[in-house]
Structure formats: structure tokens, C-alpha cells
Amino acid sequence: TTTGAVSGARRRIGVMGGTFDPIHHGHLVAASEVAHRFDLDDVVFVPTGEPWQKDTRRVSPAEDRYLMTVIATASNPRFSVSRVDIERDGPTYTLDTLKDLLRQQPDIDLYFITGADALEKILTWHGWEEMFGLASFVGVSRPGFELSDTHLAQIDDGRVHLLEIPALAISSTECRRRAAAGAPVWYLVPDGVVQYIAKRNLYRPEGSTRLDGT
């Protein structure tokens, strides 16, 4: 029916959703490792629109988070970035993300990649039962979270997978904190993202002036 049918196999696409404020090497290593272990053809990074469950802090403009994600993924031919969440009005729900991606490419199998911390909250997600019909879910370990402690140990329908990845104790929160304090974020985020943060003066206290790119 489509070009995908020529090769016979359905394309397997990873979906890495996140605020990406900023994107860092923890995200990139997780996506790379899941792609390897689950034999994925591509991974699509999907920056959130108006973030939900994060309304306690100001989030950088969607366009800045989108561009940092593009910069970070540009060198990998199997990584791409989707605007579906930032172009949808209102809070981002993973169910809408999956539906939009499947509408664009109906003949793909989706693997939604998320940290163990986020996976723990899966039962609170809007429409989680319907989501299980649209994608498989891969929960990746990250330092400080024990996979065995998740509620998901109880869900055993073959749609949820837990995967240990090389531990990278990097979080966007820590990157923002360092940038705000004038500490370097080199090697925590890709070089182009370091430079973009400096260029746009992201994460600096209101009114502060940047003197150098670090």
C-alpha cells in the first residue's frame, strides 16, 4: 500500500518526549541505547508544548527548546525532531502526541521512550489505556530511580519494557542551575547547545549580562 510495504517490515520508530529545557547527553544516550536494543529505525524527539505538571517554574519558549533539540540531534541521521506538540494548543498529553505521529505515518510501530521517573506516573496520564493500544513503552533507568519500585512491575502485557542504560547523572534542572550560576555546562549538553544557551542568554537571572559563552 505504501513504500514501507515494499520491504515488508513495518518501520519501528522511537518517540522521545520531553521538555528539553535544555536537551542534554542523558536524553541522547537514552535514545541511542533504546534504538540499539529495540532495533529501531529512527527516533523522533518531541519537545512539549505548554508543559503540564511543571507549572511551578517558568519554561523556556517552545521555539528555543525546539531549536536546541534540532541542534543536538542534527548530526545523527536516525534522529529527527517533531513539532506536533509545540504546534498543538493547550497542555501536552502523550496520547495526542502518539495520535498525531500515527496520523502522519500510519504504517509504523511506535516505542515511547520515557525515564523511569515519568513512567512511574503513567497511571496518572490522560488516556493511558488507549495509549497502550497505540505504542509500546520503554522506561529507561536514570540515576536515583529504582526500576523495580515502579507501579509498572504490575503491568505485564508485553507493551511495557524496562531498560537499564549507562548511568548519566545529568538533568535539565542541573544544567539550568549551573547556567544560572555561571558554571559551565560544556560536556553535559552538546557543544551547539552550550553556544545556543549563551547566545539566547537562557537560564540567567533576570537582567544579568553574559560576559562569555560559558
List interacting residues with ligand ATP (CB under 6 A).
Answer: 18-21, 26-27, 30, 114-115, 117-118, 140, 142, 168, 170-173
Smallest distance, Å, CB 115 to ligand ATP?
2
Task: Determine the Cα angle at 110 with ends 100 and 27, to 5°.
Answer: 95
Q: Which is nearer to ligand ATP, 143 or 213 (CB)?
A: 143
CA distances from 135 to 18, 112, 178 (A): 17, 6, 36
**Residue number of the CB atom closest to ligand ATP:** 115
Q: Which is nearer to ligand ATP, 155 or 168 (CB)?
A: 168
- Residues listed for the chain: 214
Smallest distance, Å, CB 7 to ligand ATP?
30
Q: Which is nearer to ligand ATP, 69 or 108 (CB)?
A: 69
Q: Which is nearer to ligand ATP, 4 or 127 (CB)?
A: 127
Please, are residues 92 and 50 in contact by the beta-carbon 8 Å criterion?
yes
How would you list the strands of the sheet with 135-140, edge to edge?
A: 79-81, 42-47, 11-18, 108-115, 135-140, 160-163
